[in-house]
Every structure is written in structure tokens, then in C-alpha cells.
Amino acid sequence: MGLPKSFIARLESLYWDVAPTILSVFASERVGSFRVNHIFYKGWGISEEIAHEFREKGIPVLPFDEAKGIYTYDKQYEYAIKWTQAFYTGKIYLQGISSMLPVFLLDPQPWERVLDVCAAPGSKTTLMSDLMHNSGSIRAIEQNSIRMEKLRFNARLQGAENIECIKMDALKFLSTDDSLYDRILLDAPCSAEGRISLANEKSYGFWSLENITRKSELQYQLLSLSIAHLRPWWTCVYSTCTLAPEENERVISRILDENRNLSLVDIAANESFDSRIDWIHGVRSFAWSRYHPDIRRTVRIIPNMYAEWFFIAQIQKSLTWSV
């Protein structure tokens, strides 16, 4: 079984110049990555305790961003890493670099009130807790019982005590909650095209245009309701791991068209955006649809040896309607 022809056609229409590169990445394996949990370890870089254990077990790692505590490794060592004390005690957390980017862009600070709309299994939630020095508060929403248990387990394992886990459908929570938040993260449910692996038919066997359409409407509802809970002058980061413009630029464009007090932060201008991450601006049009002119302030992460596919938009809310 190969990739659906309609998927390849869409990919080539979006990225006629880099489509072969993206398809080759789908057939290859990226390096693995993990982050040091600074709730337990306050230092810069990797702790000597962790470094010693990795040396003893013959696990080589390379620094990707020592200031942020991010390291990479060859995937052949992933099984060995999962048997280390550092992994079992929550001192490190295996997480894709692309998955970390929305949190670093959101940049939650200590003592702030943060909402994580679709939180499980807690990778981004616990990273936020780390950046907030385990202070302030994070409300993490998840409906599924099994995924909620994973979220709670990861929070406990990493010592993240500022996370309040709420088991509820996100749409229902957003429709009934009367709170305002300083920062909101919406890593939305999506068609997950960025996680396609040609070695695993299950990663693309479910793909369909109907699924993209359903996800797009859900994402729009989630983002529209989330924005209502954002304090003026604060930010919401929206992200997906899919290529589909209907789930990315179209969702953001609809929100901007309907809410003139919202604007996009130019992500590419962020000084912390790593040069080893390949990216392009958000697409301005697709399939006869033209998107909001500011959509180029969003970013599409192009998969390479370090990163998987991601779309990220950073939305800022103003107090009054713009003219």
C-alpha cells in the first residue's frame, strides 16, 4: 500500500520545489530528541549525573540547544535510553523538537495563568510547567480517560505540581468556563499528515479529504472559543502536525476575518527560532481559496533530520477593535 495519489497531488501543488525532499523524509528516520527536566535539575545543559549514566551505558548524545536542555540521539539508542534512571525518574523527557517549538514561542512565565486546551499526553503541558518553574497555574483539558491517565502520569513523573488536569470535552469546557487566561496553547487534533511514515501503513491508511474537513471545523470551533478566554494583550499559540491548509491557514484566516481585535505575531522574526529548523511562511492560497494577508506571519516547519512537520501560528489579542 502506498500513499494516496490525491495526497501526493496536494503535496506537489503546495510544495512543487521541495515535495521530493518531503517524500524522502517520510521514507527515512529522523534523529531522536529529549529535553532535560529543569524542575528536578536547575543547571545549564545536561547534569553530570545524567551524562555519567549515558557514558556508562554507551549512549552517545549531541547537544541541540544546551541553554534549553535539548539533546539529540540516534534512534538505535532509544530503547536503551528508555531503560535509564534518568528516563524512569522523569529527569529527561523524550519529545520531538517540533513539538517543543509551540511552547517556546508561547513563552509562559512564572505566576501566569495558562490554558492547555488539548493537553494529553502532556509533553507540551509539562514543558510549560518547566518553563514556569513549577509556579503559576496550568489548566490541562482532556476528555479521553486513557489519555488523561497518561497526562496525569507524566505530570507526576516530572514533578509538575502546577498542572490542574480537567477531564472534560474541550468544547464543553470552553463553552462553560468563565475564566480568562494570560496564555493559551491549542495544539489541535488534526489529520497528522506530518507523522506519516512509509514504513508504517497505519500512519497514512486513515487519510481522507473528509477527515481533513471534519478536523478543520473542529479546530475552528476550538480556536474560536479559546480566543474568548484570552486576556487582552496576551497570546494564544495554535499548532498542528499536519500539512493540510484547511486545518492551518484556513482556520487562522477565518478567525482573523471574524475578530478584528486579533493579530498575528511574526514568528519568523523570533530570535530564538533555530536556524537548523527548515521552515517556510504560511501559504497565501490553496485550491482557489485566498487567505488573510497576514497569514505569512505563520510558519510551516519543513521536515528534516531534526524536525517533523508542524504548523504554528501565534495570535495576539488587543483591547479594542482595530480600524
Residues acting as catalytic residues:
241
Distance, in Å, from the CA atom of 158 to the CA atom of 180, rounded to the nearest integer, reads: 27
CB 311 within 8 A of CB 248: yes
The burial class, CB within 10 Å (0-12 / 13-18 / 19+), for 213 is middle
Q: What are phi and psi of 316, to 5 degrees?
A: -115, 140
* Rg of the chain on CA atoms, in Å: 19
- Grid coordinates representing 241 are 502536525
What's the CA dihedral at 61, 65, 66, 72 to 10 degrees? Answer: -10
CB 87 within 8 A of CB 76: no
